[in-house]
Amino acid sequence: MSELVLINVSGRDKPGLTSEITGIMGQYHVRILDIGQAVIHDHLTWGILIEIPDESKSSPVIRDLLFRLHALDLQVRFAPITMEEYQQWAEGRNRACYIVTLLSRDIKAEQIARVSAITARHGLNIDNITRLSARPSLNQADNRLACVEFSVRGTPPDPEQLRADFLHIAGEMNVDIAFQEDSIFRRNRRLVVFDMDSTLIDAEVIDQLALEAGVGEQVAAITERAMQGELDFSQSFAERLALLRGLDESVLEGIAMRLNLTEGAEHLIRSLKSLGYRTAIVSGGFTYFARHLQRRLGIDYVYANELEIENGKVTGRVAGQIVDGNRKAQLLLEIAEREHISREQVIAVGDGANDLPMLSQAGLGVAFRAKPLVKESARHAISTLGLDAILYLIGFRENDGRQV
C-alpha cells in the first residue's frame, strides 16, 4: 500500500527551496495531497502532505530529503499519517469556511487572543492567519491602520451569538471585527453604494444649511433623533426641511466647497475604480451636494433629494419622491439590475437607521461609524478606522495597493 507522510520544514528562506524539495520527491513519483508555506521575517515554515506509491519505498525518499535539507541548514520533521486520519481530515475540509477580519490602529496580542478564543468557543478552527496591511514602522507611534485576516472552518451553532460576542469585544478593545462567509462573492463584488452624509463626508448637510438659516439647534436635534431611529425619517426630514424655507440659494455653493471627505474615502474610491468597481451615492441628503462629490470623486450614479428652489430661495420642500430608507434599498436593487449583477455582489455603506434597509439588501452591508442601534442591526461595522478599511473586507492586501 502507499504511505502518507506529513513533512514540516523550517529555517531561513532561500530562493529555489520549493523546486529543490519537490524535485527530489518527483524522482519517486510522489503525489502531493496538500501543501502550504508562510514566511515571516525571512523565516520559512513549509508543510507538505505526500503520498508515496507502493513501488517507491518511503526510506529512500526520506533519506534523500533529510540529506539535502540538512545541507541547506533547514530543520525537518516527518510524521506518518494513517489513511483513516487523512480521510477524517479531508472530510473536515468540506465544512463551511468563514473569514474573520480584525481591524485596528495597531494589532496587539490581546486582540488576537480574544478573537481566537471566541472562534474556538463557537466550534471554529483557524486554518490560516494572514496580515493584509503593511508592516508597521517601529519609529511610528500610531499606525494609520492594521488588519489581520483569519480563515476559519466549522459551523457555528449560533451565528447571531457569535456576531454579538465579536461586537462586544470590539467595543471593549476599540477594534472592528467582521465575520463573513468565504463564498465566491467575497472577492467578486462589483458595486459599492454609499450613503453621503456622515459616510462619504464628515457632516450632515442639512445641519449646515440650518446653521446658515439660523435654525441650527432645532434641526440638529431632529437630525440626531432620526439617525438614532427614534423618528420616522420622512416625517423628520419634512420637519427639518420646512425650517429652511427662505434660505438664499447662494449659500449652497459655499457649503459644498467646505465639505470634508471622511477619512479614507478618497483612497477607497480611487482603489475601487482601479479595480473596475462601479460606485453610487444613494442619499437622503440633497442632489446638489451629491453631484459636487460625484465630480470630485468620479462616482458613477447619484440618487438623492432634489432641493426645491424658487426665485433664488429654498422653498422648504423637495421635488419628487423623498429618498428614505425603503427607497434607498429599492435604488440599490435597481442599480444592480442595471449593471447586470446580483445583490450578493453589492457593498452598501451607511451610518443611520434609514440606511438599514439598504445594508440588508447588499451582499456586504457595512455600518460606518454608526449609531449603536445601527451597529447592532447591521451585519458588519467599521468604527475605529477610515472608510478605506472596507478594502480589507474584500481581501485587499498591502501589495495590491502598490498597483492602484
How far is residue 39 CA from its own chain's centroid? 24
Give the angle 120-124-129 at the CA atoms, nearest 5°: 90
Which member of 34, 42, 142, 195 is catalytic?
A: 195
What does each C-alpha distance from 25 to 17, 83, 120, 252 come to in angstroms? Answer: 13, 20, 36, 72
User: Is there a catalytic annotation at residue 42?
Assistant: no
What does each C-alpha distance from 38 to 10, 13, 45, 47, 149 come to in angstroms? Answer: 10, 10, 5, 9, 14
User: Is there a catalytic annotation at residue 197?
Assistant: yes
DSSP state at residue 229: T
* The residue type at 336: A
**Residues 191 and 336 sit within 8 Å (Cβ to Cβ):** yes
Residues composing the chain: 404
Query: Quick one: which H or E segment has residue 357?
Result: helix 356-361
- Cα dihedral 368→374→376→380 (10° resolution): -30
Spatial distance between the Cα atoms of 150 and 165, rounded to a whole number of angstroms:
16
* The residue type at 147: C
* The residue type at 338: R
Which member of 42, 64, 73, 197 is catalytic?
A: 197
Spatial distance between the Cα atoms of 392 and 394, rounded to a whole number of angstroms:
5
Q: Could you count the other beta carbons within 10 Å of the beta carbon of residue 303? A: 19
The residues annotated with a catalytic role in the active site are: 195, 197
